[in-house]
Amino acid sequence: MTSTWVEPSNTATALLLLGRGSDPATERGVECPGDLPAPSDPDLVARARAAKAALGDKVFVLGHHYQRDEVIQFADVTGDSFKLAREAAARPDAEFIVFCGVHFMAESADILTSDTQRVVLPDLAAGCSMADMAALPQVENAWDVLTELGIAAQTVPVTYMNSSADIKGFVGRNGGVVCTSSNAKRALEWAYQQGEKVLFLPDQHLGRNTAVLEMGFSLDDCVLYDPHKPGGGLTPEQLRDARMILWRGHCSVHGRFTLDSVNDVRERVPGVNVLVHPECRHEVVNAADLVGSTEYIIRTIEAAPAGSAWAIGTELNLVRRLALAHPDKQIMFLDRAVCYCSTMNRIDLPHLVWALEELVAGRVVNQITVDADTAHHARVALDQMLALPGA
């Protein structure tokens, strides 16, 4: 039976991105159910400190690298999505995990933590557009296409960490693995030991860059599956011949960097080092000097010599934070136009204060819960990632 996917209207999507309306089946979440403090409240910092102190060891606050500085200052640990989820799991005595990130990250934390811990996302509208580009009904439709062509049995699904729990669960049910931007090559090497093809979800750029630049594939080995077109917009022959079936998804921040951005900064800043995330487009990654995960970017800048110049292709909050932390280096955003992650930035100080004060009052708000069956199969795929050589 082929599932049906209904694309939301432009008006509905716009309202969801503004945090209004409801769509629990997507990363965009729902509107905040409570009254937020005013952003102009001069006591917000003091209120956050007081609430966190009142909760003590019962609360553990996680802050993703792309969060605002006003939020990051209250994080007990900062990091990328998987590091934060593992940090949460390593704090079994913390009753509340307040995840300052986006929805799929909080889901991963819920999957990896114990049943006695509760994961809170300060704003349910903090989602991930990339994760939304691969909804479970769409992926099930694609798997039906591969099954009808007789190639599903030889195809291993691999999903990037930046995907919903539903997609991680699908991958776990079908013998696949989760990957991060740091271990994508190891995950693909494992996958090709299990089968002849890979269905890579949901970020086409990470999949293509890893396959071509790290594993020696050609661009012709890769095809792009568009879930909005019959058969993914591909012929049966294209699907049968492909080694890497890339999902048509991307990061709205990293996808904005272009080859022109690289050429422009090289003209403006002689000797500049271009450092980008592997979620960037293939031609951008090809033209960069260095490519790596968020943690790799941070380590590279920390180790860079004083006086060196760096143009960084990743989210602006992190680039600004690196520039402030390393005034002896010239650090700039790769693109002339600034670009924050709009959904990550939905978590601001008023939302954090509201969530913490509600916990102090004994009310658990915005709890993220993954159903047991999905969590089990997602954990299978996550555990397979942890079992990869070098993990």
341 among the known binding-site residues?
Answer: yes
237 among the known binding-site residues?
Answer: no
Q: What Rg value do the Cα atoms of the chain yield, rounded?
A: 21
- Name 35's Cβ contacts closer than 8 Å, sequence gap at least 6: 354
C-alpha neighbours within 13 Å on the C-beta side of residue 244: 28
d(CA 314, CA 319): 7
d(CA 313, CA 373): 38
339 among the known binding-site residues?
Answer: no
277 among the known binding-site residues?
Answer: yes
Q: Position 55: which residue type?
A: L
Residue with tokens 């580009």: 133
d(CA 100, CA 75): 8
181 among the known binding-site residues?
Answer: yes
343 among the known binding-site residues?
Answer: no
**Surface-to-core class of residue 65, CB atoms within 10 Å of its CB (0-12 exposed, 13-18 middle, 19+ buried):** buried
163: enclosing H helix or E strand: none
Phi, psi angles (nearest 5°) of residue 309: -115, 135
345 among the known binding-site residues?
Answer: no
**Surface-to-core class of residue 77, CB atoms within 10 Å of its CB (0-12 exposed, 13-18 middle, 19+ buried):** middle
CB atoms within 10 A of CB 269: 15
66 among the known binding-site residues?
Answer: no
Per-residue tokens: 384: 């397979």
326 among the known binding-site residues?
Answer: no
160 among the known binding-site residues?
Answer: yes
222 among the known binding-site residues?
Answer: no
CB 217 within 8 A of CB 207: no
C-alpha neighbours within 13 Å on the C-beta side of residue 113: 32
**Which segments are annotated as binding site for iminosuccinate?**
64, 81, 160-162, 181, 277-279, 294
**Which segments are annotated as binding site?**
64, 81, 128, 160-162, 181, 251, 277-279, 294, 341
**Which segments are annotated as binding site for [4Fe-4S] cluster?**
128, 251, 341
